[in-house]
Amino acid sequence: MEIAYIPSPSRGVYELFGVIPLRGYAFCIIIGVFVAVWLGNRRWIARGGRPGTVADIAVWAVPFGLVGGRLYHVITDYQLYFSEGQDWVDAFKIWEGGLGIWGAIAFGAVGAWIGCRSRGIPLPAWADALAPGIALAQAIGRWGNWFNQELYGRETDLPWALHITSSTDGRVPGYYHPTFLYESLWCIGVAVLVIWADRRFKLGHGRAFALYVAAYCAGRFWIEAMRVDEAHHFLGMRLNEWTSIVVFLLAVLYIVLSARRRPGREEVVEPVASDGDTDDDGAAVTLDKKSEDEDSVDKDSVGKKSDAETSEDEKETAEADSGSSEPETADSSSSAEAKDEAESAKKA
């Protein structure tokens, strides 16, 4: 008896006004990118950066990430596009699903490095600011798999089972573990973990980003083991399970070595902003500062001029007083001599 389940969309493409196709997969990715940039911008400003810098660098990182994610998927699942009976042109149909997070992060980092280098910004600091946003972007993007009815797990009778109704591309209708939902919830937890750890331990020099990578890999390992879609296997495990293990170890190693060599957090993440070129809201204050300096110079000049004028006035007054006292002295002497002569004449 069916008690409860998660229904799948009847289709993944909707027509706007009957003309413009709106694809659920692409829509989820776009929303995820906007959320990542929005949160990354807030964190970047909090670290002393300028508003808009995260978006400017994302212009480089996002296209590189999409290309890298698609390349990883096509290379690791080449049989879907280049085997007999398959059309290689489908490799370019990114809207039908198929992005490898490993390739997306690797190539996205290359694009971000180009953008950071052009601005003189350290890539690790930018990555730290963006790390929780990337995790949230993945959480939102995974719902694109729900629209496409793909990447589900083994069959189950749990009340949150995903009901697959499509029978295309080898799918078998039934009830399966919603691995897209598991990974979405896990990524939300990773974002919360990184934000908490960053505030608690003041992570810097790329360690917040490395924590995101390690935490994501830990979840991706057990979620990947539940999936039933076609994949390459090595020593009994799926390729992405091995990738999760290797990347997890590298991320943990980076955290340990970075903490020893460069403890603490960067004091300056964007040189221009640290020189006082922007206020809390990101508005330019260079001209205001210049005006204040000019006003200060003018006031000092006026003050000095006023002091000089006062000193000169005092000097003139002193000279005037000095000149007027000499005639008075002379007049007094003449009067005394005249009086003495008058008295001498009387005696005679």
304-344 tens-digit pLDDT? 445 555 555 555 555 545 444 444 444 444 455 545 555 55
Residues 56/62, Cβ–Cβ less than 8 Å: no
pLDDT in tens, 219-229: 999 999 999 88
Other C-beta atoms lying within 10 Å of the C-beta of residue 324 = 9
Residue range 98-118: mean pLDDT, rounded: 93
Q: Which two tokens stand for residue 152?
A: 């589900």
**Separation between Cα atoms, residue 113 and residue 280, nearest integer Å:** 26
Spatial CB neighbours of 125, under 8 Å, sequence gap ≥ 6: 47, 204, 205, 206, 266, 269
Query: What pLDDT was estimated at residue 89?
Result: 85
Residues 76/239, Cβ–Cβ less than 8 Å: yes
Query: What pLDDT was estimated at residue 309?
Result: 52
If you ran DSSP here, which 8-state letter would residue 174 be given? E
Residues 259/207, Cβ–Cβ less than 8 Å: yes
Residues 134/124, Cβ–Cβ less than 8 Å: no
Statement: residue 20 has pLDDT above 50: yes
Instruction: Give the residue among 216, 255, 223 at the shortest CA–CA distance from 136.
Output: 216
Which pTM does this prediction carry?
0.76
Q: 130 falls in which pLDDT band (50, 70, 90)?
A: very high
Place of tokens 């399970």: 241
**Separation between Cα atoms, residue 337 and residue 18, nearest integer Å:** 126
